[in-house]
Structures are given as structure tokens and as C-alpha cells.
Amino acid sequence: MKAVLFKRSGSAARLQLAEVPRPAPEPEEILVKVHAATVTRGDVVLRRLPFLLWRLFGFRRKTMLGHEYAGEIEAVGADVTLFKEGERVFGTTTGLTTGSYAEYICVPEKGILATVPANVTYEEAAPVPIGGLTALYLLREGDVGSGKRVLVYGASGSVGTFAVQLATHFGAHVTGVCSTSNVELVKSLGADEVVDYTRQDFTEAGQIYDIVFDAVGKGSSRRGTRVLAENGSYVSVRSSTKEKTEDLLVLRDLMEAGEVKAVIDRRYSLEQIPEAHRYVEKGHKRGNVVLIVGS
């Protein structure tokens, strides 16, 4: 099978497409034929991080990058009871030694995965687990709810686009912050108001928010707290989050109902991995970058 190997930290050119043996599932694992994966900012960070620092930061060494995937179950281990061959699934590889940059991967049946809704494609499902789970977790940390005023800084990125949609779903009044070229996109996702940061500083707009959500990790908590209501919450993607299967099921149901969708900026083939990484590394992607792995 084809896979993109991750042998040395550094530039995108060090990601190598190679032929490797197809893995076989352990008794409690499933073998997934990957149809789509993504390139996230987290993939870029890990690619550049020296291996000596991985243990320091609590990361397990991966032989391949790729944090999320969508595909079809090719085979199941002898003890698997939750899934069966032929089911369409999506999930994350967080905490595993493998990544999703391959035609086939093995994942534990009790990992972070769920079935893909019938009305959602692999390309649409693959970007949801990381960005969607992060947005859902942090909005809950901020106590999102009906009538709350939520500001999403970086509303056009992967986490930001999910945060706008989820906050809207929970009944919040949402203000998105983005550049001029992304204003219409953020409005289309349900934002009640949009601040173009190239023309206006959101801290000087005279608005107060119950939640300020830094969805790109580039904001300043000092600036964010200036516009927080009393007892308001400042949340950021720089904080640690927890992935839960039950939360992925929530996102699955919202996708099926058409209330949450993945914004896809660009698509690349597995052979174009270096190019995809270079694009994400520039820091200007809208929503998500998807890898087309299989038909």
C-alpha cells in the first residue's frame, strides 16, 4: 500500500511517499481503507518539532502524520463487536503511533471514531473530528448557551468555522472576526455579525461578550478579556482539550441534520503531501485542507 512516511523532522520535503506492507488488525482493532484525510496545523507543528522534544511534550512518536480520517472498514479483529466490515467511519489518530496519511490504517474499535452519515461524503467527514471536537469542547468550557454573546477570533479557520456553526446551533449570538476575503463565508456559516480585522479592532467596537474564543491561537488573552462580560470566559485552542466518542456522535448527528458542515479550502492527492503541507504552513487556509487518499 502507499503511505507517507515521517522519518525525520524538518521541512515538508522530508515527507516521503513509499510502498509499505498493509497492516493487519489486532483482535480489538479495525482495518480502515482510508478515503480522505486532512492536513492540519497540528500536523505541521509535529512535522517541524525535533523528535527529542516529542517526549518532553508528552507526544507519542508517529511513523506517519495525519490526525483525522474517513474511510471504509476493510476488516475487523476477532474481538471487535462495535463495528463491522463495510461500514463507513471517521475519527482521529490522536495518541496512536500511526497517522492517516496511508491507504490503510488500523485503529482501536474503542478509539475516537463513529459511523459516517449516509448523506455525508468521505471528504466532508474527514475534517470534522479535530476541528469539530476542539470547537465543541472549548465552547462547552465557556458555558455556551441560548442568548450568550460569543466572539470567535479566527472564524474562517478549521476550528473557527466549526465554532461559529456550533455556537449558532446552541442559540448564541455569534460575532466572527476574520479578514475581508472571508467575511461572506463566515456570514454563511451563521454569524450574526462579522468584524473585518483589517478595518476594525474588535476590542474597540463597543461590544461585550460572554465568551471570547481564540480559534487560531494567535490572539492575546489580555486583549480578549478587555471585551468580556463579568463572569465571562476566554477560551483558546492553545488550551488542552479532550476527545470523547460521545462528542463525535453529537457532531455526527449535527452533520446528518445539515447543521454542521466542513468548509473545504483545497484538495490534494497523497502524492501532493509536501505541497499541501507548504500551503497549510502559510497560515492562510479557509477551513480545511483535505487529502484524497482513495476512490
- What DSSP assignment string belongs to 48-82? HS-HHHHTTTTPPPPSS--SEEEEEEEEE-TT--S
Question: Is the domain of 268 the same as that of 176?
Answer: no
Comparing CA positions, the residue from 262, 72, 235, 44 lying closest to residue 157 is 262
Over range 283-294, report the average pLDDT. 93
How confident is the model over 13-58, as pLDDT tens digits?
A: 999 999 999 999 999 999 999 999 999 999 998 888 887 776 776 6
Q: Is 2 helix (H, G, I), strand (E, B) or coil?
A: strand
Count of Cβ atoms closer than 10 Å to residue 270 Cβ: 19
Over range 219-243, report the average pLDDT. 89
Question: Is the domain of 108 the same as that of 200?
Answer: no
Question: What does the DSSP 8-state code read for residue 13?
Answer: G
How confident is the model over 145-158, as pLDDT tens digits?
A: 999 999 999 999 99
Question: Is the domain of 266 the same as that of 123?
Answer: yes
| 59 touches 94 (CB < 8 A) | no
pLDDT of residue 167: 98
Question: Is the domain of 118 the same as that of 166?
Answer: no
Domain membership of residue 250 (yes or no) is: no
Cα distance between residue 139 and residue 137, in whole Å: 6
pLDDT of residue 243: 96
Domain membership of residue 186 (yes or no) is: yes
Domain harbouring 193, CATH code:
3.40.50.720
Q: Which residue has the higher pLDDT, 295 or 190?
A: 190
Domain membership of residue 142 (yes or no) is: yes
Q: Which residue has the higher pLDDT, 192 or 201?
A: 192
* Cβ neighbours for 248, distance < 8 A, ≥ 6 positions apart: 90, 91, 112, 113, 114, 129, 132, 133
Pairing type for strands 2-5 and 16-19 reads antiparallel
pLDDT of residue 57: 67
Domain membership of residue 273 (yes or no) is: yes
Domain membership of residue 253 (yes or no) is: no
Cα distance between residue 162 and residue 127, in whole Å: 10
Domain membership of residue 80 (yes or no) is: yes
Domain harbouring 16, CATH code:
3.90.180.10
Over range 6-18, report the average pLDDT. 89
- The band of 203, judged by pLDDT with boundaries at 50, 70 and 90, is confident
Question: Is the domain of 100 the same as that of 143?
Answer: no
Question: Is the domain of 109 the same as that of 139?
Answer: no
How confident is the model over 61-78, as pLDDT tens digits?
A: 788 999 999 999 999 999
Q: Which domain holds residue 220?
A: 131-236
- pTM for this entry: 0.95
Beta strands in 181-286 (DSSP E): 193-196, 209-214, 228-236, 264-269
Question: Is the domain of 39 the same as that of 107?
Answer: yes
Domain membership of residue 245 (yes or no) is: no
Question: Is the domain of 115 the same as that of 154?
Answer: no
Q: What percent of the chain has pLDDT over 90?
A: 82
Domain membership of residue 36 (yes or no) is: yes
Is it the case that residue 126 has pLDDT exceeding 80? Answer: yes
Question: Is the domain of 140 the same as that of 118?
Answer: no
Is it the case that residue 123 has pLDDT exceeding 90? Answer: yes
User: How many domains would you assign to the chain?
Assistant: 2
Cα distance between residue 166 and residue 150, in whole Å: 11
Question: Is the domain of 123 the same as that of 140?
Answer: no
Over range 208-235, report the average pLDDT. 89
Is it the case that residue 294 has pLDDT exceeding 80? Answer: no
Question: Is the domain of 209 the same as that of 176?
Answer: yes
**Grid cell in block for residue 273:** 503531501
Least confident piece of the model among 116-130, 221-235, 247-261:
221-235
What separation, in Å, do the N-terminal and C-terminal C-alpha atoms of the chain show?
A: 14
pLDDT of residue 265: 97
Over range 282-294, report the average pLDDT. 93
Indicate the helix (H) or strand (E) that contains 162: helix 158-169
Question: Is the domain of 23 the same as that of 119?
Answer: yes
